[in-house]
Structure 1
Amino acid sequence: MAETRDRILDALGALLPEVGPAGATLEAVAARAEVSKGGLLYHFGSKEALYAGFLARLEEATAGEVERMRASADHGVETFLRVSSVTDDHFTRTFLSALVLIGTPEVDAAATVARVLAAYRSAVEECVPDPVLARLVQLVGDGLYLNAMVGSLDPAEDDQVIARVVAMTHP
């Protein structure tokens, strides 16, 4: 049962960047997930419920990523910055699909994305007590992430940036 639900959410996540919310109809999502429309509606009673389930999945994935960051040997800053350069993963595909949902009347995707960013910020603040420096770390991570998404990374330079920021957080 959970497998079918995951396939449906994966299908929505794949469709959103391709066709946007208007093209990600219940029929299109069901076809991509290889389930009947009735099967989709069994798991998600409406398009709103489907979107809500997708965004809840993003928040669950965020919680897992944040816990991994907190458990890291470097207390999170370097881990956060290093994973900000990784964009070929399930989390990033889900995050990008959530961004596509921003402005869709059926769901408040912007609020979910804001909560995701706040969760990362909170984890950074746990290991960087200076709020301005914590914000700087978050913004550097966001910048690395954006550059990774558009393919404009310079690994050697990025390593230097990460090392400098980590050094700033560990006086």
Structure 2
Amino acid sequence: MPKKPPSILHAVAQDPGTARRAPRNRRLPAHERRDQILDAALHEFSERGFGAARMEDIAARAGLSKGGLYAHFSSKSAVFKALMQRMLLPNLLFDDQQPLANTRPSGTALAALVDGFLEGAYARLEDDRFIRTLHLLIAEGSRFPEVIRDWRADHVRLIQSQQAMVQRAVQDGVLRDSALTDMVQLIHAPILLAAVLRILQDDAYARQVTPRLRATHRRLLMELLPPDSP
């Protein structure tokens, strides 16, 4: 019998809600059922590894038959992709649906955008599923690149769209030409650092450092994004 791989989440606390198998035959709205399946999959992938996890085990943990699981997801790869899409697509500072106007925003308006962005991004760090999914991606992504290909493509598309929007705003004088607007990944980098601290450090240290990191992140954005005075 092959040796069971060790859990990849030895450094991250397990969410007890995903450790219990859900009762069968409970009717749920589609979005709740989907979340329940993904929570079950996160547990199975984390405990067994993607390669060893089985659809029937995900189904059982979610309180479904195997056929019921296939009614929602066509394959184990599709489950993994949906897990990445749910938790690991980036928060964006500037909304594609409300592009930056061709006018200089007031300091108050830009501050409101920044504060809303930071609120959403750092709130995700309080969701253990985000940390556990990131840990799963780091541990399993290089072993199964074909499984995360679509997620990678979506991630790159969002970053490229944000970069193009920011570059237009710089050209229009709406944002300052700075290191942050040269490479928008730097706008998100402190959030990733905070997530890595959650994985590598003990909980008390991470909770002590994260508020200071968030405050410094805000200062960085507010110093380097507003346009120079005319």
The CA distance in 1 between the partners of 2:216 and 2:87, in whole Å, is 30
What residue in structure 2 maps to residue 8 of structure 1? 37
- Give the SS at the match of 2:49: helix
State the Cα distance separating 1:119 from its structure 2 match: 1.5
State the Cα distance separating 1:90 from its structure 2 match: 7.2
Runs of 5+ in structure 2 lacking a partner?
1-28, 99-108, 171-176, 199-205
Larger Rg: 2
Percent of counterpart pairs with the same letter?
A: 27
Change (3 A) 1:91 1:116: farther
What residue in structure 2 maps to residue 48 of structure 1? 77
TM-score, structure 2 as length reference: 0.54
User: Residue 150 in 1 paired to residue 150 in 2?
Assistant: no
State the Cα distance separating 1:26 from its structure 2 match: 0.8
Runs of 5+ in structure 1 lacking a partner?
none
Q: Which moved more, 1:18-27 or 1:105-114?
A: 105-114
What residue in structure 1 maps to residue 126 of structure 2? 88
Deviations 1:53-102 (A, max 9, x none): 4445458xx48x44x8526x437445445544441237725852445541
TM-score, structure 1 as length reference: 0.67
Question: Where is the helix percentage greater, Structure 1 or Structure 2?
Answer: 1
The CA distance in 1 between the partners of 2:145 and 2:216, in whole Å, is 43
State the Cα distance separating 1:5 from its structure 2 match: 3.1
User: Residue 139 in 1 paired to residue 186 in 2?
Assistant: yes
- Give the SS at the match of 2:50: helix
What residue in structure 1 maps to residue 58 of structure 2? 29
The CA distance in 2 between the partners of 1:28 and 1:40, in whole Å, is 10
What does residue range 55-66 of structure 1 map to in structure 2 within 5 Å?
A: 55-57=84-86, 62=89, 65-66=91-92
Deviations 1:120-168 (A, max 9, x none): 4633653463484325553252233233442343523541342133211
